[in-house]
Amino acid sequence: MIKKVKNALSGNAEEYHSDLLDPKVITRAEHGISRKDISDNALKVLYRLNSAGFDAYLVGGCVRDLMMGLHPKDFDVVTNATPDEVKDLFKNCRLIGRRFRLAHVVFGREIIEVATFRGHHQSAPEDKSKKSAEVLGKQNQEGQILRDNVFGSIEEDAERRDFTVNAMYYRVTDYTVTDFANGMQAIQNKRLELIGDPETRYREDPVRMLRAVRFAAKLEMEISPTSADAIHEHGNLLSNIPPARLFEEVIKLFISGQGLKTFELMQEYDLIQPLFPQLAPLLVDPESRETQFIKQMLINTDNRINTGQRVTPAFMYAAMLWYPIEEHCQKLMDEAGLNHFDAFNIAVNDVLHRQIQRIMIPKRFTTTMREIWLLQLRLPKRFGRRAYQMLEHARFRAAYDFLLIRGQIEGGTLLELADWWTEFQEVSADKRKRMLVKLREAEGSPARRPRRRQKSKKPSAS
């Protein structure tokens, strides 16, 4: 297919060749999208851009979800206005990003992300005084896009989208949806397919492999064979992604309400190794305690998210790294002759340091992770006032939930300990005292008698 299009930003007509796009206009009568299902703030952004003479569309996941009858969590807008022009229109706008220059229009807690139509990277013009695509857009030797501020037309933008289901554009002026890559057919077939050559697209941005498994789990779709085969071959490219960006992507993977499905797909496509290299060797056996522990954690996390309860990434990361810490701790005890407490603390530092090289976990989460881990050593110590003090600890509930999963998977004394703490939280104060007495008797430890304070003798007068 060859199209004659006009670059909306430069104003220069150019030949645009594409056999990847087959645009179809879906009228209001043919789709189920209603403005009632769209964020009021997103509509404000669309209307203001249109009033200023710019083209503006809802695009990507929000349109896909609306077409599938789902409720989008956020709304993204695409336009032919540049980021600076968007900022001029909205006082509540901030520009972010270097790799992708974006405008965030802030309405309290809701952020409407506004992007400019992306264009194709081109060779530098002869006139060196002009900014070239090589300056605005940059790729490394492996084809990964390092900078992508090349602006273009809506057709180019559609071709630059990752999956066919994400190349649908909703226009509020006439309520139509332009489907550039047969996204509706992909929805009907429940098939997730990349736009363009999978190897090239994964090299441009390896995170697309993570997005593939996340969308497949969320939308209950099958990844097309060509898109799936390339994941096995290029998963190692994820090591080129900055650790800070991977932190955000991993949160989307596992704290989305479909964490277990996503995890199983990641195992299928060998994507655990590039993200959690210390954990991956422990998951070879699907029946191992390590695998079952991660799955149970994700089942619990999914249940909490899907019932409207809060979760923290710290708990998920604490679970992912628990058995690598245990294994490294045992190795230090065997090889260096360290006691368990010292070996455990060194293992925590070593495992965290290695993981942060791959995924940059913020300190506010690593602090909580450390507390959850260290409380696993304190939970068995319940004599005297320790049990009561433990209940008052800020991280007790998270540590208890962590222990509960360990007990469910490993059984034995861990399960007994978890059951004891379950009962101790629920019973009356008198019952708690009896539980502690019974525990002391079972351990064979005599009850301590309270010390009597000895009166100090006054020195006799000489």
CATH number (domain holding residue 330): 1.10.3090.10
**Are 358 and 278 in contact, with CB atoms under 8 Å apart?**
no
Task: Report which of 221, 255, 213 is spatially closest to residue 68, judged by C-alpha positions.
Answer: 221
Q: What is the pLDDT of residue 142?
A: 60
170 lies in the same domain as 319: no
Cα separation of 198 and 203, whole Å?
Answer: 8
What residues make up the domain containing 170?
A: 1-124+135-189
pLDDT exceeding 70 applies to what percent of the chain? 85
Average pLDDT over residues 112-128: 70
Task: Tell how strand 145-148 and strand 102-107 pair up.
Answer: unpaired
Q: What is the pLDDT of residue 148?
A: 58
Is 406 contained in some domain? yes
162 is catalytic: yes
How many independent structural domains does the chain possess?
Answer: 2
CATH number (domain holding residue 171): 3.30.460.10
Is 288 contained in some domain? no
Using DSSP's 3-state secondary structure scheme, residue 231 falls into helix
Is 267 contained in some domain? no
pLDDT above 60: residue 272: yes
* Active-site residue, selected from the candidate residues 65, 148, 157, 162: 162
Mean pLDDT of the chain, nearest integer: 88
Q: What's the one-letter identity of residue 145?
A: I
74 is catalytic: yes
Q: Model-level pTM?
A: 0.83
pLDDT above 90: residue 128: no
Task: Report which of 292, 290, 367 is spatially closest to residue 327, judged by C-alpha positions.
Answer: 290
Is 432 contained in some domain? yes
Is 216 contained in some domain? no
Q: What is the pLDDT of residue 41?
A: 97
Using DSSP's 3-state secondary structure scheme, residue 176 falls into strand
Cα separation of 170 and 184, whole Å?
Answer: 13
19 is catalytic: no
Cα separation of 147 and 118, whole Å?
Answer: 12
**Are 386 and 445 in contact, with CB atoms under 8 Å apart?**
no
**Residues 341-362 pLDDT 10s:** 999 999 999 999 999 999 999 9
Q: What is the pLDDT of residue 12?
A: 37
Using DSSP's 3-state secondary structure scheme, residue 46 falls into helix
182 lies in the same domain as 319: no
pLDDT above 60: residue 396: yes
* Active-site residue, selected from the candidate residues 65, 76, 205, 302: 76
Is 53 contained in some domain? yes
Average pLDDT over residues 196-222: 95
Which residue among 166, 189, 212 closes a domain? 189
Is 23 contained in some domain? yes
Cα separation of 247 and 249, whole Å?
Answer: 6
Is 438 contained in some domain? yes
φ/ψ (deg, to 5) at 429: -65, -40
φ/ψ (deg, to 5) at 369: -60, -45
pLDDT above 60: residue 200: yes
pLDDT band at 124 (very low <50, low <70, confident <90, very high): very low
* Active-site residue, selected from the candidate residues 74, 229, 270, 401: 74
